[in-house]
Structure 1
């Protein structure tokens, strides 16, 4: 048995001209000409102009004129000015409705063009992550805080490089187009450095130099870099929330760096680069990287989202379905629309391919 979906607002508006004109006709016949309902027939083409093209508005305008003539003759209104006034009101409203429908069609076409460009920008900036990368199964979730937007200030990427599988998850300060532009700079630098640099520290230094050149004022990017090797993962943390490793027994670990480094863009000249730290990451375990839009989501009582208590949601054999369950739980926990972008990247360790050992290097 299938569930019946409630009619959408657009469907209701599409039927509104018919309902209005029928109601006016019935009321006019029942109440008589003394009530003066006849000019309200013009509401038909007025509502028609809200949904559909200008041709639809013309059709309803023509029907409204015929109905107005019929009711005017029935009421005997053409012996005075009332009948002609009603016809003029219907014709005038129809003309305005046609003009409004044409303008709306142009705006919708422009909006469709902008959305198509935005979708191309999204594919360039946040490219679809591979379903598998070396020994890993990969899934990603992104929720933008900006209505109708699919990209924002959070960023992620997975690169299978000659030096191992390398990953970044980051969060740009601020929102809007400026944050998207900064995210593009960081991602572009990471994609090149992940292939070129022999160590994860070298990747981080390249990102820091790129951020220092591009970011102005007090803008910054928190980020965590990861490199997956045989039985281990190496992290470099730039002021980002700690990763979550889900062990075989369902226990959640949040490995912390030996020393916290400032976010990208805030590194002081001559300051020591953040030190990579190595953590055990064995086959059968899961690694979840996320932004603070996840951990800082609050419920009705102001409590933060307890991601460490939700490891049971990641038991689905399919990584994408598991991460979707976590995303839905996060949406249920949150109050109202999201106040910040929320990105999650799930890596499942299934074991190394033959002939590709590569312990992560610091």
Structure 2
């Protein structure tokens, strides 16, 4: 059965899903080319050549698209080296609190105003938080809303609709004063990138999305880079590409004109070469349950703590790669701002406030 695209995907001026009518047209064309594939029982031996022919046609189309793209664009050229430090967040599955812990440390100990950021899968939301200079407590608050939305669905994290994710993210971020204009100011600046896997070519190709024009589009990007069945019902569609999770084709996304000496790689997994990651054999690594089902507060708080400590341990390496330190000597009712205890106390307060309005009693 061919891939299906959700005809109910939200449409905007810059991105839109394939309509069901387009798919009907495509299937009608395939029916004309290989009618026996549709009209003959698949169990009949005489149908095998027809199926092989159809597979050959599809394969040829996918390869042809990849070749055409290469001919049209040519090999990638690096005209100059961007002097800015680039932070790359890998995929993270359910370990979003790990990235929140990392982000808390980066936000309070470094100036992030001049960095470029890339993200894959769950790392995309942290990438946008970084460039938008979002307060860590706000990022955590948004994460709680997304988590509550997921865990209170009858099927939890399975067979999700992108619209559920987009609506939740847009509603909460606007409460914090985030606007489309804040997203649009990065257009043309080569600052924020989302890594996805284009499966409408063969072999599948890692692609970078950039220049989002609205919060809606930014959150749609984050769903595109998470498209894995059975978590999402359909592959994504964006500007002529069928899209699956970016982690299928790359651990980190590398933007154009990258200065490799200023490339910071962050991940919740003990991947060799990462600058910020759990240390293998140290008790920091996460279990399969953590990766796939981090619902309890205890698991969430452990992720926050591990993320903070991993970033703290990498402090000197981050400075060597171009991050500019900033003084962090403030104090508030939670203690010394930027410290581990402050983060845990502040986020505990955020969760308690969230619980007061959470009608589903998620935690």
Q: TM-score, normalised by structure 2?
A: 0.27
Larger radius of gyration: 1
Q: Which has the higher contact order (CA 8 A, sep 6+)?
A: 2
